[in-house]
Amino acid sequence: MKKKLRLILIWSLISLLLQLGVYSLLNNQVQKVLAPPAPSRPITRQLKATIPGADLTNIQISYAKDYLAYSENGTLKVFNLKKQTIVFEKEPPTTNDETLGVLTYQWLPDRNTLLYFYAQKNPNPITYVTVYPPKTESQTIQPPVEPKTEDPNQKTVNEVPKVVTKEVPVQPRIEKRYGNPQITELYTLELPDSDEDTAPDDRFNQTIDQFPAGGEIEEWVVSTTTNLMFLTIKNGSTEQLMEIDVMKNVRTLNKSGETIDNMAASDRYGTLYLDSNVGTTEQVIALNGSKRQIISKNVNDRILGIRDGKVYIGEVENDMLIEIKTTTDLSEVKSNPSLKTEWEGSIPFNKNLRTLIGAEGQMVVYDHQTAYIITAGQLKEVKLHGDENYVSVDGAELIQLTRDGTSTLAELQPLEP
């Protein structure tokens, strides 16, 4: 009897261990699907390619560093760097209006997917709608009073005339309705592996009805985890901060008269950090829905970016960056958080310079000649070659472009401080 009990206990224990192993394996697989682990280091490549065309603008490299997106004469083009061929083009609807066509584009930071906005004229900005009122309406008719011959022998009687109400038909009417004269649409361009011959998948996402005709997108940031995107749209003397969520809801977030110079979105919580200017008041604020929190009241502070739970703020005086400070990116942001100094010094900082926070927490400030790289409080200066130079958004790849007649030579290599 004891032997049987021992045997049952052993097999029960073995069965339990097997079940735990299977459950653990399934759990790991599910976690990989729902939250794929980030690579330990960003992808980098070392290659050369010849791109047809010599007037390339808005150069952006994909997450895997194998596709290059650029604009040429108003046309968006995507170039396969491995196969050295153009795999996608999106032309403007007309060459007579520079406000139409592809307004802006941006690679997602974790996959070879390009988002872009496309504008065209609305062929029916004015529509006519037939309005049908109630089938009949009441109309009061007062019959004429018949004159009577007065009889001096009778008393005067004030007679009230009879009132007749009848239903008369009413005709429908035509009303004019005014719509947005511009149709602005958001598209998603999915690129296959650069070794494949599969055509890109160009998918329509939604129409942005609230987008002002002729508006220019000045800044665009995306929070991929929370599926939020934020746009600043300049239209004449007005500026609009627009939020678009995963449910395709669109709303305006800025205050009346507010202008925004820089902004960055938290990839963890969807909080938007921005430089806000209202009248003479300049502040760095955190915006979550309609809730605002002041991060810094220092008029010299500028939002630089967000990476791995840190919000980077720079202090700028006379077009020079003199200090970098950080604060924690929290789910519940409080006003006036403590700011930790990460670096102090002096490097150029103006509108001609680009700024990014690399995947390893390095701060990169660069133009077409020089890159200033601040890592763990240490500054390195790197001289760049080529006519134009660009750095990937993860700070890992340097793209050097040199014009050669009607073509452009592109050289990719890791950006080493």
Q: What is the predicted pLDDT for the residue at 35?
A: 43
Report d(CA 331, CA 333) in Å as an integer.
6
Q: Would you place residue 250 in the very low, low, confident or very high pLDDT band (cuts 50, 70, 90)?
A: very high
pLDDT top residue among 392 and 15: 392
pLDDT of residue 131: 82
* 357 against 130, higher pLDDT: 357
Task: Summarize the confidence of residues 236-261 as an average pLDDT.
Answer: 92
C-alpha to C-alpha distance for 77 and 72, rounded to whole angstroms: 7
Which pLDDT band holds residue 6 (cuts at 50, 70, 90)? low
CB atoms within 10 A of CB 218: 15
pLDDT per residue as tens digits for the range 80-112: 999 999 999 999 999 889 899 999 999 999 999
pLDDT tens digit sequence for 274-297: 999 999 999 999 999 889 999 999
* Three-state secondary structure string covering 130-188: EECCCCEEEEEECCCCCCCCCCCCCCCCCCCCCCEEEEEECCCEEEEEECCCEEEEEEE
Give the C-alpha separation, 60 to 143, whole Å.
Answer: 82
Q: Among 303, 299, 335, which Cα is nearest to 317's?
A: 299
210 falls in which pLDDT band (50, 70, 90)?
A: very high
Output the furthest CA–CA distance in the chain (Å, rounded).
137
Which residue has better confidence, 128 or 185?
185
Decide which of 206 and 19 is more confident: 206
pLDDT score at 37: 47
State which amino acid sits at residue 86. I
Range with top average pLDDT, 60-74, 121-135, 250-264: 60-74
Segment 186-208 shows an average pLDDT of 96
CA dist., res. 357 & res. 320, Å (int) = 18
Beta strands in 7-112 (DSSP E): 47-52, 57-61, 67-72, 75-80, 85-90, 101-107
Query: What are the pLDDT digits (tens) for 315-331?
Result: 999 999 999 999 999 99
Q: What percent of the chain has pLDDT over 90?
A: 71
Per residue in 129-163, pLDDT (tens digit) is: 888 776 655 555 556 655 555 555 655 555 555 55
